[in-house]
A and B are shown apart, each in its own frame.
Chain A
Amino acid sequence: MASDPTDVDLILEVLAGRVDRFEVLVRRYQRLVGAAALRMGTPRQEVDDVASEVFYKVYRSLKRYEPTHAFSTWIYRITINAALDRKRSRRHDALASEIPAGLPDSQPSPLQTAEEKDRAGRLQKALLRIPGHYRAPLVLAHIEGLPIEEVARVLDLPEGTVKSRLFRARAMLKEIIHRHYPDLAPSRTLEGAS
């Protein structure tokens, strides 16, 4: 059975003129882009617009992609910048309450789903209180699960800067949770574990 083409294979095909192959790349990364945009504070109803814009930018600058780093790193960078730019151009804070955070993977009861969505929505609001340049490393490291060196590459920052921003972002999140959303704080066992 033929294996799936790699990102670089697909990019080379697109660059050779097979524009239709770009759709495979879009399908492969659209959830990642949508999730990153949402977690960076883009309102749910605008996530598709941001994702479209991101892929359009990716397509236009595809020849500038350097395969020394993963395609996902590059696409994360474009997504984070697009989400922050959108945030700068429009003040979304007022819309934060409209953000449902999607559905969990498992199949919980409707009540659990509603609670989960409410919790995720309030967490999203809490995250939005953190300035973008602190929120970005927090989202990438603690939600997207990227290692520090990858976060540094995505944000084009030295690892030391990423670490210090993460430190400050964690402290801000703790302060926000304690002050505004105390019920979102994890149980004492978890807190004690830190």
Chain B
Amino acid sequence: MNEPRLPTGEDQGDAWVDAVLEPLRRAEVRCDVAPAVMARLAASRWPAPSIIRRPRLIWASCGVAAAVALAFLALPLVGLARQDGLGMQQARGIVNASGHLARPLEGQLRMLADAARAAALPLLRAMVTLLDAAAPIFKSAGAIAALTGALSILISLYVFTHARGTAPPAGARGGYLPYGGMR
């Protein structure tokens, strides 16, 4: 389409344009889409745009699921902490030493934390807005990730059970020794 050159003359005014466009203004348009729209709404089974915001429930349940997953991942750490092995003792030593170092710098660290919080809050708000806008994409990505995770667990379970069934019994003669040796 060739974009028309803009004339440099004066505006032609409302009356001229009104007169030119009169036939379009008088034209009646037949449009009856109500049955199709209602059928589409019924077929798509979209939930009513209820005032109770279901997406919030979905987000909350996702958060709970994430917390449970995190707790599940943290369980081995708790187990390690309870055993109080060498690694835990070293970690505790590092934490204590860091605490001693941080104590004289407490004021500065607090100021730094306040500054970081002040800088992070607008960023967080922007991120929430972005999340809200891109919610459908994140939902799809989340569903795919959840599906992949579930698939991965199923494959792991299959491999594990299959390996247990075919693994040589512990201590059996003729098995492989650690570090490549042969019994």
Contacts and interface: CB of A to CB of B under 8 A. Distances in A.
Interface of A: 14-17, 19-20, 22-23, 26-27, 30-31, 33-35, 38-39, 47-48, 51-52, 55-56, 59-63, 93, 101-105, 116, 119-120, 123-124, 127-131, 138, 142-143, 145, 167-168, 170-177, 179, 184-186, 190-191, 193-194
Given A120-B23, A138-B17, A170-B17, A23 B1 contact: no
Contacts, number: 163
Given A101-B27, A103-B28, A185-B20, A59 B46 contact: yes
Interface string B12-37: 11111111111111111111111011
Contact of B36 (A14, A19, A48, A170): A48
B7 interface: yes
Contacts of A30: 31-34
Contacts of A173: 12, 17, 20
A171 B11 contact: yes
Contacts of A31: 28-31
A101 B50 CA distance: 38
B9 interface: yes
A175 B22 CA distance: 18
A179 B3 CA distance: 13
A30 B12 CA distance: 33
B162 interface: no
B40 interface: yes
Contact of A194 (B12, B40, B41): B12
A26 B4 contact: no
Contacts of B5: 175
Contacts of A60: 46, 49
B13 A23 contact: no
Contact of A26 (B17, B24, B34): B34
A35 B29 contact: yes
B26 to A, nearest CB: 5
- Judged by DSSP, the binding face of A is helix
Contacts of B7: 171-172, 174-175
Interface of B: 1-7, 9, 11-34, 36-38, 40-41, 46, 48-51
A55 B40 CA distance: 10
When A and B form their complex, which 6 residue pairs have the shortest distance between CB atoms, in order from nearest?
A: A34-B31, A194-B13, A186-B19, A194-B16, A35-B29, A101-B27
Given A22-B41, A170-B11, A171-B6, A186 B49 contact: no
Contacts of B22: 186
A14 B3 CA distance: 44
A178 to B, nearest CB: 9
A184 B20 contact: yes
Contacts of B12: 170-171, 173-174, 194
Given A19-B48, A63-B51, A176-B4, A38 B20 contact: no
Nearest to B10: A171
15 contacts: A14-B49, A27-B34, A34-B31, A34-B33, A35-B27, A59-B46, A59-B49, A116-B27, A123-B23, A171-B6, A175-B5, A175-B6, A186-B22, A190-B15, A194-B16
A39 B15 contact: no
B9 A171 contact: yes
A30 to B, nearest CB: 5
A40 to B, nearest CB: 11
A143 B33 contact: no
Contacts of B3: 129, 131
B27 A102 contact: yes
